Amino acid sequence: MAERSEVIFDRNVVEFVTVAAEYCGFLERSEGALRSEFVDTLLKLLPLLYLKGTMLPECTRMDDFDDLERFVTEDQYEVLRLTLADVMADRDDYLDVFVDDMKYSDTPIRKTISEDLADIWQDIKNFVCLFRTGVNQTMNDALVECRENFATYWGQTLVNTLRALHEVKYSLDDEDTEA
């Protein structure tokens, strides 16, 4: 069992936890942010989060029966999503073709940057909170779940959102606005 818990102290895990905590903190402090500065920071932070997510080591659950605790409430999620929507204002919406529903549609699906960022935050925040418990088994199982969610959900969401943020930053008609 000691060997399996060693993975939580791997350098790549520690670096991921550091970047994940920075991502969460940045979003949580975003109220009233200037959109241009907000977008600039995310265009640097999201690729780093993605890179660190790809470097997470393989590991297996120690407890196959217990569900991991969730720290983020629906209210916290909604407050953050609305805060991010305020920052993004009229540039929050984007069209996405990399979603499962697209195979049933002739047109792109409308998504929002704020919801995507909040979805990523929710998963990452729960992971960071679980990791902060300091309980090796919990930390290990949180890492397993985070790695799985990166592969199946939030990694793709991150790159889609990154594309939308790139458009916001480099479009010719964007103006600097405060939320």
Tokens of 66: 């217990």
Going residue by residue through the chain, which has 179 residues, state the pLDDT in tens, using 9 for 90 and above. 455 558 999 999 999 999 999 999 999 999 999 999 999 999 999 999 999 999 999 999 988 767 899 999 999 999 999 999 999 999 999 988 765 655 666 777 899 999 999 999 999 999 999 999 999 999 999 999 999 999 999 999 999 999 999 999 998 655 554 44
Domain ranges of the chain: 2-170
DSSP lists the bridge partners of residue 96 as 109
Kindly write down the DSSP assignment for every residue of 24-57, as one continuous string: HHHHHT-TT-BHHHHHHHHHHHHHHHHHHHHTPP
Is 91 buried (19+), middle (13-18) or exposed (0-12) by CB count in 10 A?
buried
Any residues with CB less than 8 A from the CB of 40 and at least 6 apart, and which?
A: 169
- Report the CATH fold assignment for 2-170: Four Helix Bundle (Hemerythrin (Met), subunit A) (1.20.120)
Distance, CA of 35 to CA of 12 (rounded, Å): 31
Residue 76, exposed/middle/buried by CB under 10 A (0-12, 13-18, 19+)? middle
What is the phi/psi pair of residue 19, to 5°?
Answer: -70, -40
